[in-house]
Amino acid sequence: MSKLKNKVAVVTGASKGIGASIAKHFAAEGAKVIVNYVSSKEDADSVVKEITNNGGIAISIQADVSKEADVIRLFEETKKAFGTLDILVNNAVFQQFLPIEQASPEAFHQHFDVNVLGPVLTIQASLKLFRDNGGTIINISSGASKSPMAGVSLYSATKAALDAITISLSKELGAKKVRINSILPGATETEGATSAGVTPGSEYEKMFIANTPLGRRGQPEDIAKVAVFLASDDAAWITGEQISVSGGMYGF
């Protein structure tokens, strides 16, 4: 398949979970992929190895998207490796289940620096590297931006902010032939969700499944397939949208 043939894509936070699945699906569709990671080099290299073993092209680049110098280096290395950029996926995320009494200034900044400042910095850098015929930006938001639950007020606020950025920039960047959309996953089975306490058989998982019309948690590939569509020419007339991929949990 070749929906993304010869496209160059940066996927942040791509060493595991949704980001890793997006990177693999992009590569399977012909894209050259930069697998960004902040600390999990072994996991990122494993994603790259799987891609290359299947005939794809990928490299891993370490960068903390909340740090401007790291973001600049990430895109400099992307340019050095592939010369240009066509697709940016903002997937890197910080999340804690945190009652408001424990929402310290440090926790606030951890959430907003990674989940909001990070995408702003990567978008700024990507605009300098996109080709003359434009580019595509996909922000991985969350159903929590529309339907926040207890204990994730900071996380939910960052995702609502990211959706607002998506809408605003769709109007700002359209003249530059840059499309930007948000994907809002529902309860998805990832390493991050597990570390946050949503483990198989847990009360959190039972609650999510009970409130999901399709009766299961999502898998990373459920999100990745939609990302491929949004990155491809099939979505050439779509920008500024917030697309729920949640088994119906947030489809209201």
Q: Which residues have a catalytic role annotated?
A: 155
Of 171, 147, 161, which Cα lies nearest the Cα of 115?
Answer: 161
Contacts 24+ apart (CB under 8 A), 167-174: 167/240, 167/242, 169/123, 169/137, 170/239, 170/240, 171/240, 173/127, 174/239
Helix (H) / strand (E) containing 242 = strand 242-245
Q: In the β-sheet with 242-245, what is the strand arrangement from edge to edge?
A: 57-62, 32-37, 8-11, 87-90, 135-140, 178-185, 242-245
CB atoms within 10 A of CB 114: 22
For residues 59 and 45, give the distance between their C-alpha atoms in angstroms, rounded to a whole number.
Answer: 8
For residues 89 and 222, give the distance between their C-alpha atoms in angstroms, rounded to a whole number.
Answer: 15
